[in-house]
Amino acid sequence: MCSLPLHLVRCPRYRWRVLGGSVAIRCGELLELVIAEHDWQIFAEVVADHMHLFVRVGPNDTPASVVRGFKGRTPQVLRDAFAYVWESTVRRYVECQCDVVVAS
């Protein structure tokens, strides 16, 4: 059933090193959900700043639809789960920015 092999590379914006620990585990779980929905086969290698996806898809699956399948859900779920910013962090950032503007 699966015949066409694809090699996809996904990188976080600015190649930030965010794909480690619990983020990598959750990312792997999300990838498994996507491949189960589409009946694909996958081998994924997740590094801190990017991931390699080796995917075997059906003959009717275009590379664009495969990328859309992974990209449509995975980043949004990871952002919702792990991208919380504390109010104190934002306040410190704003205060530092104000100090820089006043000093200029």
pLDDT in tens, 79-100: 778 776 667 777 777 777 765 5
Domains and CATH numbers, the chain: 4-103 (3.30.70.1290)
pLDDT of the residue at 99: 58
Which pTM does this prediction carry? 0.66
What are the DSSP E strand ranges found in the chain? 4-10, 41-47, 50-57
For 3-28, write each residue's pLDDT tens digit. 678 999 888 777 778 777 888 888 88
**pLDDT value of position 54:** 92
More confident residue, 101 or 42: 42
State the virtual CA torsion across 12, 21, 34, 5 in degrees, nearest 10. 70
**Cα–Cα distance for residue pair 8/60, rounded to 1 Å:** 17
